[in-house]
A and B are shown apart, each in its own frame.
Chain A
Amino acid sequence: MVIYGVYIVSKSGGLIFNHDHNVPKVETEKTFTYPLDIHLNYENKKIVVAFGQRDGIKVGHVLTSVNGNPVNGRELEDGRDVLDMLEKPENYPIQLKFSRSKMTTNEKIFLASMFYPLFAIASQLSPEPRCSGIEVLEADTFRLYCYQTLTGVKFMVVAEPTQAGMDILLKRVYELYADYALKNPFYSLEMPIRCELFETHLQSLLETVEKSGISNV
């Protein structure tokens, strides 16, 4: 039972809240000798594994540190270029750490605003009038559940495909939103939600659901 995250999109399509709940951390550290048998590419300000998948290092993983020093863009903290370093035999053996790339806040905002037209298209494609739009989006590794309130706010939960009762969870999140975000006098509508009470209650709700199932909330 795993819930990966919760997202709230305002009526105008902006991401007003996101909470990463339980995303398993994938990190592999390994010592390499010259020549490097993994192909690395520099794209989107990250050094990404392009080909040569082995020992838990997968295509798409990002290089995060070299000999224990964190990688920032394509440089180490002391300004050395990582890709140049990896081409020189005198730097080997070398210890590289790879992990799955994390989404930045900007990317999340971008994806949330992309879901908005998809949702609208889905409701227009519908052969029947008054279609609700996308309620579940299914993939092999996750399911996205979406609930749009009558006022146009969208609540989304990303969870394991086997996780049951997510529609009930979404309504509970809506209740928490009505209580802890909207009743906070310092929260203004349509703005990003930065309410600690909301966050802590959401966190404990998600934990209860994961531990003991939806019937206990």
Chain B
Amino acid sequence: MSRTGPRLDAKKVNSELFTLTYGALVTQLLKDYENVEDVNKQLERMGYNMGIRLIEDFLARTGSGRCYDFRDTAEKIQSGFKIFLGITPTITNWSPAGDAFSLCFETNPLTEFVELPDHCLNLKYCNILTGVLRGACEMVQMEVASWFVQDQLKNDSVTELRVKYVKRLEDAIPAGED
């Protein structure tokens, strides 16, 4: 998301273009790997590499500070979805320990025109998102795990992404913050 003028102004791009590009990526991966599990893995890896760069963009634009609470993190992840995908997933299903929550998507720009064929039932079409979350959080010294528990493409009513806090990466914390 680059800028046009000197002012901070997100360059708006038609979400359909984005949806189709992502679709092209996934179909190409399916052709290249022929194995759904490998595609899931590859999507996660690509997402990770995007996440470690995207986090800087998020921090530079929002100027948000460090999270000292996972609820804080949840809200920031939510605002990240707003900035980069233009959607606001709802945060629900907090675990009693407060270390896991779910993001529920009513609409998802990634899957707008998608119907999964029969041989792809194990495909996690949006798996790139789990990688993005992992990469972005890792750069701010937090290890998270995430996975899809419900998927509209598999006839669930919503798409639900579960995010779990694993640990703080203590030795990676920059000087002046430990």
Contacts and interface: CB of A to CB of B under 8 A. Distances in A.
Partners in one complex: yes
Nearest to B65: A150
Given A132-B176, A152-B174, A217-B6, A179 B140 contact: no
Interface in B45-74: 52-53, 55-57, 59-61, 63, 65-66
B53 A182 contact: yes
A131 B176 CA distance: 5
A198 B56 CA distance: 15
Given A150-B140, A171-B63, A189-B52, A179 B174 contact: no
Interface in A175-217: 175, 177-180, 182-183, 189, 208, 216-217
B176 A151 contact: no
A102 interface: no
A123 B175 contact: yes
Nearest to A187: B53
B174 A11 contact: yes
A85 to B, nearest CB: 50
Please indicate which of the listed interface residues A122, A171, A178, A182 has the most CB atoms of chain B within 10 Å of its own CB: A178
A149 interface: yes
A17 interface: no
Among B3, B52, B53, B56, chain A packs the most CB atoms within 10 A around the CB of B56
A29 to B, nearest CB: 41
B56 A151 contact: yes
Interface residues on B, range: 20 to 34
B2 interface: yes
Given A150-B66, A151-B55, A123 B176 contact: yes
B139 interface: yes
A151 B60 contact: no
Q: What size tier do the contact residues of chain A reach?
A: 20 to 34
A188 B3 CA distance: 22
Interface string B159-178: 00000000000001011110
B60 A177 contact: yes
B13 interface: no
Given A148-B176, A152-B174, A175 B8 contact: yes
Contact of A183 (B2, B8, B59, B61): B2
Contact of B140 (A130, A151, A174): A151
A182 B57 contact: yes
A130 B174 CA distance: 11
Contacts of A182: 53, 56-57
29 contacts: A119-B175, A120-B175, A122-B176, A123-B175, A124-B175, A130-B176, A131-B176, A149-B56, A149-B60, A150-B65, A151-B59, A151-B139, A151-B140, A151-B174, A152-B174, A174-B60, A177-B60, A178-B57, A178-B60, A179-B1, A179-B2, A179-B57, A182-B53, A182-B57, A183-B2, A183-B53, A183-B57, A189-B53, A208-B6
Given A151-B59, A171-B63, 10 more contacts: A119-B175, A122-B176, A123-B175, A150-B59, A152-B174, A153-B56, A178-B56, A179-B57, A182-B56, A183-B53
Interface of A: 11, 116, 119-120, 122-124, 130-133, 148-153, 171, 174-175, 177-180, 182-183, 189, 208, 216-217
